[in-house]
Each structure stands twice: as C-alpha cells, then as structure tokens.
C-alpha cells in the first residue's frame, strides 16, 4: 500500500477495534450516531483553523499568513504565552501517516498537542466518597486516565510533531464531558505503543476484514453495529463450528444490540401534478395551483416514493441525498422505474466479493436454495394459518417441495421445485379469503396468479405489493453495499434488480401476500376500490390509500427472529438479511438462513 | 426510539430569529411562532443542538428544549390549547 497515508484517527480506532478501523479507514463505511454527532459538535467548535505556525525551517508559506503570524508574535513577544494553533495538519512520508491536530501549543521549538474528546476519561473502579467524617480519607482510587485509543492518537501526534522538528515534552487530552484536561508525558513507552499500533493497523489493512469482537462491551454503543452485526455473525460462526464437532465454547444468543426503532414517516405521493420541494430543510408539498398540501419536517422523513406524474425539484433531491433519504420513482401502476440513492459510503469489497462468489455456480445455488426453501416454508405457514379448509395433502406436498429444493443440484431443478410449490400455493390461495369476500376470491380462483396485466383485484394488489417490496429490497441491498442487479435465483436481465428479488423471496408470503389477504378480509379493500380497464385491473386513488395504510402497518409489524431471538420490524428484518447476505459473500458467516415464521 | 420534545426560543436579533425558525422547521411542527413540537431520533436531537449553537448568540439568545418522553400520544395530550388547535401530524405512512 504505497502512497497511502493512514490518518492518526484511524490508527487510534484500530486500538479500539480492528474491525471498526477496517470499515471506516479501509472500506470507507461510516454510519453516524448520536454519539458521533456529539463528537462532531465538539470538534466544529475546536476545528476553526487558525493561522499557520511559523515553520521551523524559516521558509514561510503564503505572504499573508506569514504577516499575521508575525503580528501575533509581536503581540505575544513580551509574554511567555505559547501560540495556539488549531487544526494543524501534519504528514510524514516516512511513516505514511497524516494527522490533523485539534490544538497544538507552540512555544518556539516546543510543541504540546492537545486532543479534544466529547466523552469522559477512563476510570478504573468507582469513585468512593468518605462515608463518615471520622474516616480521614476515602480509599485511594486510581484517578482518571486517558483511554488507550487516545494514548495512541496522542503518541502518533507527538511523533509527527517531533519529525517536523519540534520537541514535545508532554501532551494533553481534554475530555469535554467533564471539562477535564489530562496530562500525558511523552516518553519512549508512549511512542513505542503508538508505533506498534501503526504497524498493526497497516498489517490489518493489508489483509481481510477482521472478525467482530466477541461479546465486547464496546459493541452496544458503537455506531457501526447495524453494519458490523458482531453478535449475529459470531453466533452463526460458533454454531457452525459446534456443528462440525470443533470446540466452540461460546454459545451465544445475540444481545439485543439493534438500535431501538426510530422510524419516522414514509411518504408516498401519488396525486397527479403534485410538486415536492424544500424550504430550508423542511419538505413542502404543493398542489397544481401552488397551494400547500403539507409541510413535513425533513428530520421525520424516512423515505419517499413517487408514483406517476409527480414533480420533485432538483433542490429537494439534493437535500434528500444529503440526508440519505432514498427516493423511489414508480409508475402509477407501481412498477419501480428508478431509485435515487445517495453516493453514500459503499464498500467496494462487498461488491467485489458478490461478483466473485455469485460467479461460482455452487455458491449461487446455495443462495438461491436458501431463499427458495425459506419462501416455500413461509408459503406453507401462511396457508396453514389462514386457510379455512386446507386439504391435508397440501401441507405435506409443500413440505416435499422444501425437501426437494434442499436437495436440488442445479439451478433449473431448483427453479422447477420453486414453480411447483408456487403452483400448489396459488391454487389454494383463494381459500384464505373469508365468506364476505367470496366474489373477489372466485375471480382470483378463475384466473389464478397472473401478472401482466393483473386481471382481478387480488392479482392487482399482489403485483402492487411486490413492486413496493422490490423497492424496499433494492434499498436494503444498496444499504448493505450489495449490487442489486446481480442475483442468484433470478437471472440477470436489463433493469431487473435480481438480487433484490432474491432477497425478497422469503418475504413475499410474509409481507405482500399477507397484506392482500388481510386487507380484503378486513374490508379495507373492496370491489369498489378497483377499476377494470383494458390494461387490466387497477387500484383507484382511494384503493391505493387503503393499500398503503395496510402496507405501512405490515412493514412496521415486529416479528421475532427464530435464531437471534429478538424482535425487529419487517422493514429492519429486510436490512438485517441484506447485511447477512453481504457477510456470507465475504465468508464471515458460513451459511445462510432466512426468516421463516411459525 | 424517537422522543418528543417541545422546543422554544428567545432570539434578540431578526436575522438570527429567521434562521432559527427555518432550522426548526426541519425538525418539527410549529405550534406557535417560536414554539415547536418535535419527534426526534437521538442523532437528530444532537444535530439540532449543534446547528442551533452555530446560529444563536449564546450570550443573548436562549433555546429551551423540554423533553416530553417517548410516548407520542401522551406527549400530544400533555398540551391544552385555548383557541385553534395545533396541526395534527400522522406517523407511519403518509399518502398524498
């Protein structure tokens, strides 16, 4: 890795967690959290760059800054106050190291780096207060000390300063939460520690992504947790190890590390001629005549789906991109046409692995098999749960399909079993509708599952739901740095998000089919919500409203993961599985298991 | 988990006042001219504070954040209004 400069910050992160370092510094993946934003807040106040320090070699930089510095020095000349330099950038070609110092106090040839931290220093043990006044003193407890990561960072900064020609006798670390400034003597042990970490970081960067920490207390507050999935990946690794008879004493049920649900609103705009714009940072939706339909705070908007002839201004798109709000463009019939997603941090390593792995027929078959098996299992569950009088053979037949799919040795064979199961499933699909909706059920029964055009209301709702789900799965695949167009079970075709369709398979019965069944059974959708046209049966505006409220409710439904034993909404379950596919492609988990419900 | 907040401000300068009003509209619904109701993720609460700190003159102006808890219904019910009711905003999926 010649010509690469490692940032000091990154190397310090290596001391915290090598995997975090790999994600952020090598792959460039980052996910902000409240803690990181708080840190950013502390640093915007610190990071106002000040004038450049006088260079020791005497060759000043631009004339302007030199003048200013001289002026500063003049005013300071009679006092001993050191010159404070903020945001001092330093680079070492020899070490391949670069750093931006928060603050350096420079006095002649002596420099003292000061590092700002938003949090608290490390404390071993509890602070005990004297219980009664007779006791002369509380127990002697070790005082606050800097975290190892901060020591590494300070050490590297000191080395860089020394290389620039300064003498660095000491350094400071400022902890904003306690307004505490800790002195760190700069000695050989500090510098050795820092250099060792730099070497270790370089070694890590040259290799593969390190495995996650095992049951580490640092994970719950780590902002990268939803990407890194430490417990989920360890659980899968150790389970397989144990199954192969190898010693794996770590029997782990993942802690519930997923950040609590904090979803805002998902906006669907389907009215012709409506415009979406931004005013400052609030989303303003106006109708044809310019009247305000709705003002939404941007912080609450989670995603935007635009159907048909709706205008979204360029400015609005830029703001959405900036806030990582995905925008999906669909036709009025709900077919996903395009998706705007921000050029966020995507990991090239994941995509490279996807191309490599899915190119191998046996690996592609493994993924295809996993999604097919889960899909048939879920179809079977849905039928068994909702069908009023399911012929006893059906459940057994579907069970046979699952077993056959598990044994399939070629992709075509697998697709055959999948089609077979689908045929059985849709033959009995109409039986899941209740008495009151017989007419609709009969229409579906006579046509069966047909896509283009959907001939009856049930088909129309199914097609619409699959389109919306495709859009969610595409977004989830991109979030996991996967290439949506390159799949396993679904062959690559122009414009087809094959991997998103693969990811969607197990969720079709759980989400889309279940919405269709329950929306009709509850009377949320009726014959009146549909229009029969030459281009097939279509939802009316009112019908679409009913559909979206059922859809939103379903996506927010929480289900318990059968293996990890925690609850997530379906929407987050999609993200979890997309990331597990990515982990499988990288070889971090040995096998794939998709969500099945009982 | 999103939490609900009532955010109010006193700003002594027209320019800053307009800027803070614009900022607040990104984070919540205006209940009154300088009183906003916000439902925020932890990260957005920090962002709001960071952005407001940039705009306000902390020697003169004040921004007040009242935590109303994580129960959105209870937070809304905690408010009694005389006169026109504050606008109602729905959660989940908004279809327009």
Report pLDDT for A597: 78
Residue of B4, B27, B36, B43 to mutate for A, most A C-beta atoms under 10 A = B43
Query: Which of B60 and A185 is assigned the larger pLDDT?
Result: B60
Report pLDDT for A198: 79
**Is residue A268 predicted with pLDDT exceeding 80?**
yes
Q: Which residue of B has its CA nearest to A266?
A: B93
Please answer yes or no on whether A281 and B22 come within 8 Å at the CB atom: yes
Query: Which of A342 and A472 is assigned the larger pLDDT?
Result: A472
**Is residue A75 predicted with pLDDT exceeding 50?**
no
Q: Which of A232-236, A285-289, A342-346 has the lowest mean pLDDT?
A: A342-346
Query: Which of A537 and A344 is assigned the larger pLDDT?
Result: A537
Q: Residue A154 phi/psi, 5° resolution?
A: -65, -40
Segment B10-16 shows an average pLDDT of 89
Select the residue of B1, B90, B95 nearest A260 (Cβ to Cβ): B1
Report pLDDT for A64: 39
pLDDT in tens, A214-255: 777 777 777 787 778 887 787 777 777 777 666 555 556 677
DSSP string, A55-109: PTTS--SSHHHHHHHHHHHHHHTTS-PPEEEEEEEEEETTTTEEEEEEEEEEETT
Highest mean pLDDT among A386-390, A500-504, A530-534, A535-539: A500-504
Report pLDDT for B7: 92
Rounded to whole angstroms, the Cα distance separating A212 from A18 reads: 8
Instruction: Kindly give the pairing relationship between strand A265-269 and strand A180-185.
Output: unpaired
Report pLDDT for A130: 46
* Residues contacting residue A2 through CB under 8 Å, at least 6 positions apart: none
- With cut-offs at 50, 70 and 90, classify the pLDDT of residue B8: very high
**Is residue A477 predicted with pLDDT exceeding 80?**
yes
Query: Which of A320 and A598 is assigned the larger pLDDT?
Result: A320
The angle subtended at Cα A258 by Cα A252 and Cα A263, nearest 5°, is 160
Q: Which of A137-151, A292-306, B6-20 has the lowest mean pLDDT?
A: A137-151
Report pLDDT for A120: 76
Give the neighbor-by-neighbor strand order of the sheet with A311-312: A292-297, A282-286, A275-279, A311-312
Alpha helices in chain B (DSSP H): 14-27, 42-55, 72-77
Q: How high does pLDDT run on average in chain B?
A: 84
Q: Which residue of B has its CA nearest to A262?
A: B1
**Is residue A74 predicted with pLDDT exceeding 70?**
no
Q: Which two tokens stand for residue A313?
A: 């201004």
Report pLDDT for A81: 57
Select the residue of B46, B50, B94 nearest A265 (Cβ to Cβ): B94
Please answer yes or no on whether B50 and A548 come within 8 Å at the CB atom: no
Q: Residue A284 phi/psi, 5° resolution?
A: -115, 125
Rounded to whole angstroms, the Cα distance separating A379 from B74 reads: 39
ipTM score of the complex? 0.78
Report pLDDT for A54: 56
Q: Which of A240-254, A293-307, A341-355, A397-411 has the lowest mean pLDDT?
A: A240-254
Q: pLDDT > 70: what percent of chain A?
A: 85
Query: Helix or strand or coil: residue A290?
Result: coil
Report pLDDT for A142: 61
Chain B residues close to A261, C-beta within 8 Å: 1
Select the residue of A260, A269, A281 nearest B26 (Cβ to Cβ): A281
* Residues contacting residue B79 through CB under 8 Å, at least 6 positions apart: B31, B37, B86
**Is residue A335 predicted with pLDDT exceeding 80?**
no
Chain B residues close to A300, C-beta within 8 Å: 39, 89
- With cut-offs at 50, 70 and 90, classify the pLDDT of residue A423: confident
Rounded to whole angstroms, the Cα distance separating B34 from B46 reads: 20
Please answer yes or no on whether B46 and A553 come within 8 Å at the CB atom: no
Please answer yes or no on whether B27 and A299 come within 8 Å at the CB atom: yes
Please answer yes or no on whether A297 and B46 come within 8 Å at the CB atom: no
Residue of A177, A270, A282 to mutate for B, most B C-beta atoms under 10 A = A282
Q: Which residue of B has its CA nearest to A275?
A: B96
Q: Which of A197-206, A414-423, A446-455, A546-555 has the lowest mean pLDDT?
A: A446-455
Chain B nearest C-alpha distance from A458 (Å) = 21
Segment A278-287 shows an average pLDDT of 84
Q: What is each CA distance from A545 to A258, A269, A361, A457, in whole angstroms?
A: 31, 10, 43, 15
Rounded to whole angstroms, the Cα distance separating A352 from A363 reads: 15
Q: Are A588 and A209 in contact (CB under 8 A)?
A: yes
Query: Which of A446 and A419 is assigned the larger pLDDT?
Result: A419
**Is residue A68 predicted with pLDDT exceeding 60?**
no
Q: Which of A72-81, A143-152, A571-580 has the lowest mean pLDDT?
A: A72-81
Q: How high does pLDDT run on average in chain A?
A: 77
Query: Which of A156 and A344 is assigned the larger pLDDT?
Result: A156
Prior bond of A453 cis (ω within 30°): yes
Rounded to whole angstroms, the Cα distance separating A444 from A520 reads: 12
Select the residue of A264, A270, A298 nearest B26 (Cβ to Cβ): A298
Rounded to whole angstroms, the Cα distance separating A5 from A90 reads: 11
Chain B residues close to A44, C-beta within 8 Å: 50, 54
Instruction: Kindly give the pairing relationship between strand A336-340 and strand A327-330.
Output: antiparallel
Q: Which of A68-72, A316-320, A364-368 has the lowest mean pLDDT?
A: A68-72
Rounded to whole angstroms, the Cα distance separating A287 from A293 reads: 6
Please answer yes or no on whether B45 and A279 come within 8 Å at the CB atom: no
Q: Which of A340-349, A512-521, B66-75 has the lowest mean pLDDT?
A: A340-349
Residues in chain A: 598
**Is residue A59 predicted with pLDDT exceeding 60?**
no
Q: Which of A97-106, A109-118, A126-135 has the lowest mean pLDDT?
A: A126-135
* Residues contacting residue A412 through CB under 8 Å, at least 6 positions apart: none
Query: Helix or strand or coil: residue A496?
Result: coil
Residue A566 CA, distance from chain mean position: 18
Query: Which of A445 and A520 is assigned the larger pLDDT?
Result: A520
In this prediction the pTM is 0.75
Give the neighbor-by-neighbor strand order of the sheet with B93-95: A336-340, A327-330, A301-307, A265-269, B93-95
**Is residue A426 predicted with pLDDT exceeding 80?**
yes
Chain B residues close to A271, C-beta within 8 Å: 96
Q: What is each CA distance from A118 to A42, A176, A532, in whole angstroms?
A: 6, 5, 62
Query: Helix or strand or coil: residue A526?
Result: coil
Rounded to whole angstroms, the Cα distance separating B29 from B5 reads: 11
């Amino acid at each position: 890795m010649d010509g690469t400069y490692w940032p000091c910050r990154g190397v310090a992160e290596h001391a915290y967690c090598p995997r975090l370092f790999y994600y952020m510094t090598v792959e460039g993946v980052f996910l902000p959290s409240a803690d990181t934003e708080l840190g950013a807040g502390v640093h915007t106040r610190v990071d106002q760059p000040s004038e450049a320090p006088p260079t020791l070699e005497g060759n000043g930089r631009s004339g302007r800054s030199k003048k200013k510095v001289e002026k500063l020095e003049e005013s300071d000349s009679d006092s001993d106050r050191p010159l404070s330099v903020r945001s001092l950038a330093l680079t070492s070609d020899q070490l391949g190291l670069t750093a931006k110092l928060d603050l350096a106090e420079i006095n002649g040839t002596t420099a003292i780096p000061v590092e700002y931290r938003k949090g608290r220093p490390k404390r071993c043990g509890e602070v005990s207060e004297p219980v009664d006044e007779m006791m002369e003193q509380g127990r002697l407890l070790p005082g606050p000390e800097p975290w190892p990561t901060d020591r590494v960072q300070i050490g590297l900064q000191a080395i860089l300063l020394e290389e620039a020609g300064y003498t660095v006798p000491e350094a400071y670390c400022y902890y904003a939460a306690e307004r505490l400034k800790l002195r760190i003597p700069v000695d050989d042990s500090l510098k050795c520690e820092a250099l060792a970490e730099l070497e270790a970081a370089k070694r890590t960067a040259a290799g593969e992504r390190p495995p996650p920490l095992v049951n580490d207390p640092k994970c719950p507050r780590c902002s990268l947790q939803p990407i890194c999935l430490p417990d989920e990946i360890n659980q899968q690794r150790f389970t397989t190890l144990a199954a192969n008879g190898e010693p794996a004493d770590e029997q782990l049920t993942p802690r519930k590390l997923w950040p609590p649900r904090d979803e805002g609103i998902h906006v669907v705009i389907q009215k012709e001629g409506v415009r979406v714009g931004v005013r400052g940072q609030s989303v303003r939706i106006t109708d044809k005549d310019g009247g305000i339909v709705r003002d939404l705070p941007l912080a609450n908007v989670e995603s935007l789906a635009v159907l048909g002839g709706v205008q979204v201004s360029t400015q609005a798109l830029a703001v959405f991109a900036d806030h990582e709000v995905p925008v999906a463009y669909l036709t009025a019939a709900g077919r996903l046409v395009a998706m705007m997603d921000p050029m966020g941090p995507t990991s090239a390593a994941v995509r490279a692995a996807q191309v490599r792995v899915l190119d191998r027929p046996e690996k592609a078959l493994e993924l295809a098999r996993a999604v097919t098996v889960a899909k048939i299992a879920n179809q079977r569950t849905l039928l068994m749960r909702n069908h009023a009088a399911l012929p006893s053979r059906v459940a057994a037949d579907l069970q046979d399909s699952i077993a056959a799919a598990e044994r399939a040795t070629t992709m075509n064979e697998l697709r055959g079993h999948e089609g077979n199961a689908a045929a059985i499933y849709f033959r009995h699909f109409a039986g899941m509708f209740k008495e009151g909706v017989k007419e609709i059920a009969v229409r579906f029964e006579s046509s069966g599952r047909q896509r283009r055009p959907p001939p009856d209301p049930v088909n129309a709702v199914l097609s619409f739901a699959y389109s919306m789900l495709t859009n969610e799965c595409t977004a989830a695949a991109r979030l996991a740095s996967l290439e949506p167009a390159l799949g396993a079970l679904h062959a690559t075709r122009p414009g087809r998000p094959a991997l998103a369709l693969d990811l969607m398979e197990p969720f079709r019965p759980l989400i889309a089919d279940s919405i269709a069944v329950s929306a009709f059974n509850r009377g949320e959708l009726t014959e009146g919500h549909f229009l029969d046209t030459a281009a097939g049966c279509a939802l009316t505006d009112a019908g679409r409203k009913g559909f979206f409220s059922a859809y939103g409710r379903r996506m927010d439904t929480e289900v318990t993961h059968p293996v990890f034993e925690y609850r997530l909404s379906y929407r987050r379950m999609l993200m979890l599985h997309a990331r597990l596919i990515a982990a499988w492609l990288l070889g971090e988990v040995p096998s794939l298991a998709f969500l099945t419900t009982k | 988990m999103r939490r609900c907040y009532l955010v109010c401000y006193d700003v002594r300068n027209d320019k800053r006042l307009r800027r803070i009003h614009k900022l607040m509209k990104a984070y919540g619904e205006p209940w009154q001219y300088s009183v906003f109701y916000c439902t925020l993720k932890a990260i957005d609460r920090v962002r709001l504070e960071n952005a407001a700190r940039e705009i306000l003159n902390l020697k003169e102006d004040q921004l007040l954040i009242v935590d109303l808890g994580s129960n959105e219904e209870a937070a809304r019910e905690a408010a009694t209004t005389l006169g026109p009711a504050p606008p109602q905003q729905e959660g989940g999926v908004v279809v327009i």
